[in-house]
Structure formats: C-alpha cells, structure tokens
C-alpha cells in the first residue's frame, strides 16, 4: 500500500477522483452536530452531545457523582485506616468504628466478604451490604436510605 501513497502524492486530487468530489460538508456527513442521532450517533455519545427532542435517550457522562465503595474493599482497607487514624478500634476491643462520610464515601455497596465486627456510619448503604455487616455482628447507621 505504501507505493500507492507515494505515487499519488503531488497529484492534484490525491486519488479522490474528480476535483469536484471532496468539496463540501456533504462529503463528511454534514456540518456541526448533524447526524447526532443517526449516522454520527457513536461520535455524539463520546462527545456527550444531547440535541433534539429525546434528550433522555442519550446517557449522561458520569451520571452519578456519588463515590461508592464495596464492603469487601472496606474490609481490605481497615488495617490501613486504623493505622492512619481514620477508623477507630472500640475501647473494649470488640470491633471497629468507621465513618464513611469522613473518608468521602457516599455509598456502601454489597460486593465482597465481611469477617470483622464493624460499626459503620454512612450516607447511603445497600440492603445487601447492611445484611452482610449485621451477619458478621456489626451495626449500621445510615443517615438516608438507598
């Protein structure tokens, strides 16, 4: 293929046929946001263009700004959080108190295992996460439901 490119260079139309063929915006599928819901649909999704009557059909980028963490990830982070002072071990040694709001976590999700006794305070928590924590002997304080 390289030979063809070299051969075409220097010619008037570079292999595009007649000099009239690659002229207007029609050759690139329209100008501006033309075809956002049709032939340029994928491009409009990537750019986040929401145009026309049915704006609800195009997904918004980063629809939820909530930072969510799974219960299993919290379990893995507990040692580090206690060392850094972001989580506190209870005085009687029965478990760990953790305020997810102080860590910048808005929502706790239920993927993973819970083996330790946790007292958790969070803005939002899923039902599965709540069940797993309570099954391990912990407690959950949620300021608002899911």
- The CA distance from 144 to 146, in Å, is 7
What share of residues in the chain are helix, strand, coil (percent, to 5)?
30, 15, 55
Q: What percent of the chain has pLDDT over 90?
A: 4
pLDDT at 101: 84
> Does residue 38 surpass a pLDDT of 80?
yes
> Does residue 106 surpass a pLDDT of 70?
yes
pLDDT at 128: 92
> Does residue 135 surpass a pLDDT of 80?
yes
Residue 126 · residue 134 · CB < 8 Å: no
State the pTM of this model.
0.53
Q: Smallest Cα–Cα separation from 67: which of 102, 107, 109, 121? A: 107
Q: Spell 114-133 as b/e; 16+ CB within 10 A means b.
A: beeebbbbbebbbeebbebb
Domains and CATH numbers, the chain: 24-62 (no CATH), 68-142 (3.100.10.10)
Q: What is the 3-state secondary structure (H, E, C) of 81-102?
A: HHHHCCEEECCCCCCEEEECCC
Q: Smallest Cα–Cα separation from 146: which of 124, 131, 128, 129? A: 124
């Amino acid at each position: 293929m390289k030979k063809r490119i070299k051969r075409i260079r220097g010619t008037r139309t570079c292999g595009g046929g007649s000099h009239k063929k690659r002229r207007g915006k029609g050759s690139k599928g329209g100008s501006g946001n033309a075809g956002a819901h049709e032939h340029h649909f994928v491009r409009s999704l990537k750019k986040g263009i929401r145009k026309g009557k049915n704006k609800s059909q195009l997904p918004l980028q980063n629809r939820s700004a909530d930072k969510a963490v799974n219960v299993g990830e919290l379990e893995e982070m507990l040692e580090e959080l206690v060392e850094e002072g972001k989580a506190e071990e209870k005085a009687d040694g029965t478990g760990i108190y953790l305020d997810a709001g102080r860590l910048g976590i808005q929502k706790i999700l239920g993927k993973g295992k819970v083996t330790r006794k946790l007292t958790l305070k969070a803005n939002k928590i899923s039902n599965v996460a709540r069940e797993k924590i309570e099954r391990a002997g912990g407690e959950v304080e949620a300021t608002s439901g899911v």
